[in-house]
Amino acid sequence: MEDDLVDLLENWELTPASNSISLAIVGKTGNGKSATGNSILGREAFISDLSPCGVTCTSELKSAIFKDGRAVNVIDTPGLFDFSTGSEFIGREIVRCIDLAKDGLHAVLMVFSISSRFTREEEAAIQSLKTLFGDKIVDYMIVVFTGGDTLEASRKTLKDYISRCPEPLKNIINLCKNRVVVFDNNTKDKIKREGQLKQLISLVDSIAASNGGKPFSSKIFSQVKEGALRRQQMEEAIEANKEYSAKELSQLKEEIYKSYDDQIKRITEMVEEKLHFTIERLEKQLAEEQTARLKAEKIAEASRLKSDEEIKKLKAELQRALEESQEFRKQAENRCAIL
């Protein structure tokens, strides 16, 4: 598999940024993010497995080189927007992810699975991304459906599938200007593997063409990058100064790490605060929907009870009328007999 698509690249930092593509993969736990990352890299770089709980625990970056000489950096993430995991974990992971993608992202792949139902959390994820990084993030998003094999087995085209998607998912696809690709991560067919990868890369290239090749970056990206750069410069400076003793050197390094950790903590808190707001809003919305659904169910139940009651009343009336008419007939017959 490795030789067909890519040659491995051990030392990705050596790759010039202009000749590399950085992609982040996000989506619900179990949707096939790691499997998609592996399909892009052409090797089993990330652990991908069937599991009821999250397999990927923390964001990771792996790289490879395409045949055309371009390096691809893939950042695999855990289920960042599964709100059950808590905003502290999400905040920390997002900062880690940004740290891995300091030079910006050429595309964000939002992974959905053909085989699993679209959820409200997935609907809210795009809002969270916009809240954190600004509306422009949408211009860099590509929708990836995993489970191309399942789609084929059901003899449906992607177009058929999308036409039957819930409205919010259609809206996400529209927001992404129909940048959609299907991946069958299980296929061993080399032509198919190359085909789906080519499709994805052409979408990444179309994003680059529409924004002058500038990778996505935002204020949070610059803050994280600045901090890391400052730490590196300070480390180099003290390393170069031969007057420091080993003890002083390690003390100074510790201080630098501490100030960097403090900075990351501040950014994480900011991310957490922003997400907290989005999560609160989603929870409120879900609670309102639940109340509305319960109310609708109560009304339906009441009207069913009412109609049951009415049917009972009608039946009783009918029975009474029947009995009355039988009584009347009996009386009439008796009267006839007397006459």
Ligand X SMILES: Nc1nc2c(ncn2[C@@H]2O[C@H](COP(=O)(O)OP(=O)(O)OP(=O)(O)O)[C@@H](O)[C@H]2O)c(=O)[nH]1
* Binding of Mg ion by 185 (CB under 5 A): no
Task: Provide the 8-state DSSP code for 86.
Answer: -
Residue selected from 33, 96, 193, 274 as contacting ligand X according to rule CB under 6 A: 33
**Which among Mg ion, ligand X, none contacts residue 186 (Cβ within 5 to 8 A by kind)?**
ligand X
* Binding of Mg ion by 39 (CB under 5 A): no
**Which among ligand X, Mg ion, none contacts residue 215 (Cβ within 5 to 8 A by kind)?**
none
Interface residues for ligand X in 44-63 (CB under 6 A)? 48-50, 54-56
**Which among ligand X, Mg ion, none contacts residue 227 (Cβ within 5 to 8 A by kind)?**
none
* Binding of ligand X by 91 (CB under 6 A): no
Cα dihedral 61/64/70/72 (nearest 10): -30
Query: Residue 187, SS3?
Result: coil
* Binding of ligand X by 184 (CB under 6 A): yes
How far CA 132 is from CA of 107, 127, 129, 262, 266, in Å, comes to 16, 9, 5, 20, 14
CA pair distance 339, 334, nearest whole angstrom: 9
How many other CB atoms sit within 10 Å of the CB of residue 44? 13
Cβ 21 to ligand X shortest distance, Å = 20
Which regions of 165-314 does DSSP assign to beta strands (E)? 180-183
CA pair distance 151, 78, nearest whole angstrom: 25
Cβ 78 to Mg ion shortest distance, Å = 7
**Smaller CB distance to ligand X: residue 32 or 91?**
32
Cβ 29 to ligand X shortest distance, Å = 4
Locate 142 and state its tokens: 């590509």
**Which among Mg ion, ligand X, none contacts residue 263 (Cβ within 5 to 8 A by kind)?**
none
Cβ 46 to Mg ion shortest distance, Å = 6
Among the listed residues 279, 250, 328, 322, the one whose alpha carbon sits nearest the alpha carbon of residue 85 = 279
CA pair distance 292, 240, nearest whole angstrom: 67
Cβ 185 to ligand X shortest distance, Å = 4
Q: What DSSP string runs through 10-29?
A: S-GGGS-GGGEEEEEEEEST
Cβ 30 to ligand X shortest distance, Å = 5
Residue selected from 131, 186, 199, 218 as contacting ligand X according to rule CB under 6 A: 186
Residue selected from 42, 148, 215, 227 as contacting ligand X according to rule CB under 6 A: 148
Which regions of the chain does DSSP assign to beta strands (E)? 6-8, 20-27, 60-66, 71-76, 107-113, 141-146, 180-183
**Smaller CB distance to Mg ion: residue 34 or 263?**
34
Cβ 223 to ligand X shortest distance, Å = 27
Residue selected from 6, 32, 64, 197 as contacting ligand X according to rule CB under 6 A: 32
Which residues of the shown chain bind Mg ion in the complex (CB under 5 A)?
33-34, 55-56
Which residues of the shown chain bind ligand X in the complex (CB under 6 A)?
27, 29-35, 48-50, 54-56, 78-79, 146-150, 183-186
